[in-house]
Every structure is written in C-alpha cells, then in structure tokens.
Chains A and B, each alone.
Chain A
Amino acid sequence: EAGVVQSPRYKIIEKKQPVAFWCNPISGHNTLYWYLQNLGQGPELLIRYENEEAVDDSQLPKDRFSAERLKGVDSTLKIQPAELGDSAVYLCASSLISGGYGNEQFFGPGTRLTVL
C-alpha cells in the first residue's frame, strides 16, 4: 500500500513569490492534516480536513496561507506571498478517522521550502 505522497520534495523560491504544495493521502483515509515543522522543532498543526471540510484551521495564518481539498482526497496548501520566515518543512499526514482511540496519523516525507 502506498503511503502519503507529497510533492515537490524541495522548493526554493524568492520572497514574495507564491508556492503550492500537494498531498495525496493513503487511500481510504478521510482525515488529512497539514503540519509545519521548523528546524529543530516538532511539527505543529496548520489545518485538519475531514473529507472536504476544514474542521480545524485555527492555526493557519489566513492572511497568506490557504488550503483546499476539493474532492475529499488530494489537498493543496498554498502560500502567497511567501516570506523568509516561511522556510520550513511542510508535512502532510492522514488517518482513517479523526480522533477516537488514539488514532494513528501517517506522515508523508514533507516538502522542504527555502525562501530566499
């Protein structure tokens, strides 16, 4: 079974440019998460989807970040415009259900963004 797929794996852009990250979760997983991982830190949740619905986007900086999961499968996270401080790894994860009995989240390899 394929794991969580993310692309691109690496992205280098100039500040003020837009950038988008794509995630394909494990087949059948209805819950999808986007995390931000700064250097030397643990991941922090940006947004959680249940199917197409963003049920927790409280940590998403909405002035420049947006996300979508139109058909309840793939998801795209966008930054426009990017700032120097956005340089980090963006992780996507998925799980069968949201919450419950210590549900396991499966992580993709991440996209490493460098903003120059």
Chain B
Amino acid sequence: AQSVTQLGSHVSVSEGALVLLRCNYSSSVPPYLFWYVQYPNQGLQLLLKYTSAATLVKGINGFEAEFKKSETSFHLTKPSAHMSDAAEYFCAVSDRSGGSNYKLTFGKGTLLTVNP
C-alpha cells in the first residue's frame, strides 16, 4: 500500500523567507503525486501535481515541487513566503496503474505559519 510521510507537522518561516515542506513517498513504482493546501475551515485546494512529465512542477501561488525518484521525495518550495500562505499543506499519492489510480493517500499534513 502507498504511504506518504511529511516531515515536520509544523513549519514556521518569516515573511519573505524560503518555504520548504518535505514529502517522501513509499512506492517501488513512481506514483502520481499531489500537493494540496487547506485554509482554515475550507476544503482542500490542489496546488500542483506530478504525473510523469517534467520533474519540476509549477503550481499556483508561486509554489513548485520537484520529483526526485532516487530520494522518493516530492518537496514543496516557494522562494518567498507571504502572510497569505499560512495554511495546512498535504502531500498525497495515488497509484498509476490498476484499479486504484483514483485513490489518494494523504500525509498527515504540515501547518505553515508565516511570521511578519
């Protein structure tokens, strides 16, 4: 079964600083990979996804993530944090093949705090 590990349940950065949120997956076959953001009292919104095209994926709001097969990682970055980036971020995976390629397995989430 797929699993996702997000290192750090809480990350705090200063406004304008680099944001780095870590995600590692466990799969012998590279899965589809996603990053979702959840603002307080809202549903999840897709930031970006990796589906085997370019390994560097650009998403909304200035975020990007790089797929590294050798490290089984898909870390999320943003060069300069903005106050509005404060939210919870979830990494998710789904299988590429078979009957379960719809099924998202989520990590536990990382709460991002941005300090003025």
Contact = CB atoms under 8 A, between A and B. Distances in A.
Given A40-B108, A41-B109, A42-B108, A110 B43 contact: yes
Nearest to A100: B101
Interface in A31-51: 31, 40-45, 48
A36 to B, nearest CB: 11
A15 B61 CA distance: 42
Contact of B104 (A4, A31, A105, A109): A105
Contact of A40 (B9, B41, B92, B99): B9
Given A40-B108, A42-B108, A109 B43 contact: yes
A40 B109 contact: yes
B6 to A, nearest CB: 8
A101 B97 CA distance: 10
B108 A41 contact: yes
A95 B34 CA distance: 15
B63 to A, nearest CB: 16
B44 interface: yes
B44 A102 contact: no
Interface residues of A, number: 29
23 contacts: A9-B41, A41-B108, A41-B109, A42-B92, A43-B44, A43-B104, A43-B106, A48-B103, A91-B43, A91-B44, A99-B99, A99-B100, A100-B101, A101-B51, A102-B34, A102-B49, A105-B46, A107-B44, A108-B43, A109-B41, A109-B43, A110-B42, A112-B41
Interface of B: 4, 9, 32, 34, 36, 41-46, 49-51, 90, 92, 94, 99-104, 106-109
Given A40-B109, A99-B101, A102-B49, 10 more contacts: A31-B102, A41-B106, A41-B109, A42-B92, A42-B106, A42-B109, A43-B44, A91-B43, A102-B94, A109-B42
